[in-house]
Structure 1
Amino acid sequence: MVGESNHERVRLSYDTVADEYLARIADELDRKPLDRALLAALAEEAGPGAPVADLGCGPGHVAAWLADHGVRPVGIDLSPAMVTIARREHPGTEFREGDILRLPAADGEFGAVVALYSVIHLQPGELRPAFEEMRRVLKPSGLLLVAFHRGTEVRHLAEWWGHDVDVDFHFFTTETVAEALRGAGFAVRATLERSHYPEEAATDRVYVMARPS
């Protein structure tokens, strides 16, 4: 299947850059005040000790931040190398290997789901199935926070930080994501947009908060 082949390319690419990713990205929240504010709002709404999924968790820095702010995160990533690093760097937090279209989680397991730039490697037709899977693992009162690059382009990387990779970055319009969320049974509660910070790739960013409808 095309989807399976694409996900394998993503997996291999992130396995390849995992160590470099940790070195460059692990402290990124220190420089992202809006991200911290949104994560803090999500943690507060989820409640103390609530289980929260961090999808596309990478080296585990967002999950670790969430743990420090009172919830019980579970990081999930497609890349085995990323999961290995996350477990090493944050031994007190749970991490699982898994695909965003087939999450290794029970129905209604989480009080909230965080998906920061984890949908950017999906084909447009995979957005709704991914959101349906997120809805499946959310409690009926749960909250979803999703972030992505705004636009319609696809950027392909064959080289990333000096490593050979084969990965596509999909940009989405706000309405494309909102429509996929509604189709998956979510109601959009808030949408925020921002320009890039100086150290980030020069793209506009969108954050959407939604709940099961």
Structure 2
Amino acid sequence: MTNTADHGRVRDSYDVVAQEYRDRIGGELAHKPVDRALLGAVVEAAAGGPVADLGCGPGHVAGWLTAHGAEVVGIDLSPAMVEIARREHPGAEFREGDLLRLPATDGEFAAAVALYSVIHLDPAELAPAFTELRRVLRPSGSLLVSFHIGTEVRRLDEWWGHEVDVDFHFLQPDVVAGLLTGAGFTVEARLEREPLPEEAETRRCYLLARRD
């Protein structure tokens, strides 16, 4: 795995804000109809097979997927996030792990979602991360990726009153789509939207891809 130190910064930062993140973000799907619709498409595509929630945080997306009929495994870099997720959403399984080295077997999942988790990878890590995501997906498995659109890198040293050290990489849709294609995916749908009133003021992109 590359940039281990940087991943440690991400892990430690999310450990620090884990409980407040859950309190502030844990109910966000209630006001995100687009996200719910796309997640529903992933559940349907999985056809009863296991779904991975990659960068699951406090487990709220995994909980939604479980409530809508999916068998879910959430994976997150932060032990504190995983602890909260296990407590809050006992119907899903949760594991600690890195996007570059997922704790999963080859072809374990019928589908996967990675909502705003690839934004913490350095640009050079995106291609190997997508190759790793392909490894854990079954042939024709669906992958939903979302991220903030742009070219900037925002570094936070304070988050909700907590001291952190974490970078948020904004990404270009064409670049991400090209990297997915290069990793062995076919991008089947692309959606962009403006932020909701409850969200940070960034334009967002969703890419729905299928493992070749």
The TM-score normalised by the length of structure 2 is 0.98
Question: Which amino acid letter does the alignment assign opposite residue 183 of structure 1?
Answer: G
C-alpha change, 1:106 and 1:2, in structure 2 (3 Å) is: closer
Q: Unaligned 5+ residue runs, structure 1? A: none
Find the residue that maps to 1:23 and give its secondary structure: helix
Aligned to 1:165: 164
C-alpha change, 1:2 and 1:106, in structure 2 (3 Å) is: closer
Aligned-residue offset at 1:141: 1.6
Aligned to 2:131: 132
Q: Distance in 1 between matches of 2:206 and 2:90?
A: 29
Q: Structure 1, residues 110-163: CA drift from partner, whole Å, max 9, x if none? A: 000100001000000111101000000000020000000000000010000000
Aligned to 2:46: 46
Question: Which amino acid letter does the alignment assign opposite residue 7 of structure 2?
Answer: H
Aligned to 2:150: 151
Aligned to 1:191: 190
Question: Which amino acid letter does the alignment assign opposite residue 178 of structure 2?
Answer: E
Aligned residues: 212
- Give me the CA root mean square deviation: 0.9
1:1-20 equivalent positions in 2, closer than 5 A: 3-20=3-20
Q: Distance in 2 between matches of 1:31 and 1:142?
A: 27
Q: Distance in 1 between matches of 2:2 and 2:137?
A: 28
Aligned-residue offset at 1:47: 1.1
Question: Which amino acid letter does the alignment assign opposite residue 14 of structure 1?
Answer: Y
Q: Distance in 2 between matches of 1:186 and 1:26?
A: 30
Find the residue that maps to 2:119 and give its secondary structure: coil
List 4+ stretches of structure 1 deviating above 2 A.
none
The TM-score normalised by the length of structure 1 is 0.98
Aligned to 2:204: 205
Q: Unaligned 5+ residue runs, structure 2? A: none
Q: Distance in 2 between matches of 1:141 and 1:183?
A: 16
Aligned to 1:103: 102
Q: Structure 1, residues 17-74: CA drift from partner, whole Å, max 9, x if none? A: 00100100110000100000000011011113x1000000000000010001111010
1:61-100 equivalent positions in 2, closer than 5 A: 61-100=60-99
Q: Distance in 2 between matches of 1:16 and 1:124?
A: 25
Question: Which amino acid letter does the alignment assign opposite residue 17 of structure 2?
Answer: V
Question: Which amino acid letter does the alignment assign opposite residue 205 of structure 2?
Answer: V
